[in-house]
Each structure stands twice: as C-alpha cells, then as structure tokens.
Amino acid sequence: MIQSIALLLLIATVFIFISNQVEADVYIQPIIGLMFGALYSKERFEEENLVQNTLQCCIGFISLTVIWIEKKE
C-alpha cells in the first residue's frame, strides 16, 4: 500500500512538471470518498481544431488535475 502511494506521489510530481512545460491549468480538489489512481485523456474538438489533454492523479482524498489545450493546424 505504501509503495502504491509513493508511486502516485511520483506521478503527481511528474504531472506538475508537465504542467509547467505546457503552461497548463492545475486544479487541486478534495474528493468525497477514498480514491487512488491516475489517468490520461485526450479529447478532440474538430469544429475548432483543438485538442484538450487531461492528466489526473488521485491520492486518498485529494485529486490533482492538469488540463491544457493545443491548437491543431
């Protein structure tokens, strides 16, 4: 269990580093309940030629979300 939490803390640190590189928005939110895990999502909006990227890491009662939008040409 402690190894899993340490891994998620490492992932959260990497997410913060990525957010600085791509000038993303970072949200730290409380969670009602207990959750552990990480995810990556990429959503395309064809009408505006945009791609929204989302990274999320949940550690216990805290969620760290990093969102940035790229313009495709």
What would the pLDDT profile of 10-65 be if each residue is shown by its tens digit? 888 888 888 888 889 999 899 999 998 999 999 999 888 899 999 998 988 989 99
Pair 8, 59: CB distance under 8 Å:
yes
Which pLDDT score is estimated for 27? 92
What domain count does the chain have? 1
Which residues, 6 or more positions from 46, have their beta carbon under 8 angstroms from its beta carbon?
none
Q: Which residue range is the domain that position 31 belongs to?
A: 2-71
Pair 59, 13: CB distance under 8 Å:
no
Per-residue pLDDT tens over the stretch 45-55: 988 889 999 99
Q: How far apart are CA 41 and CA 54, in angstroms?
A: 5
Residue 37 region by backbone torsions, left for phi larger than 0, else alpha for psi between -120 and 50, else beta: left
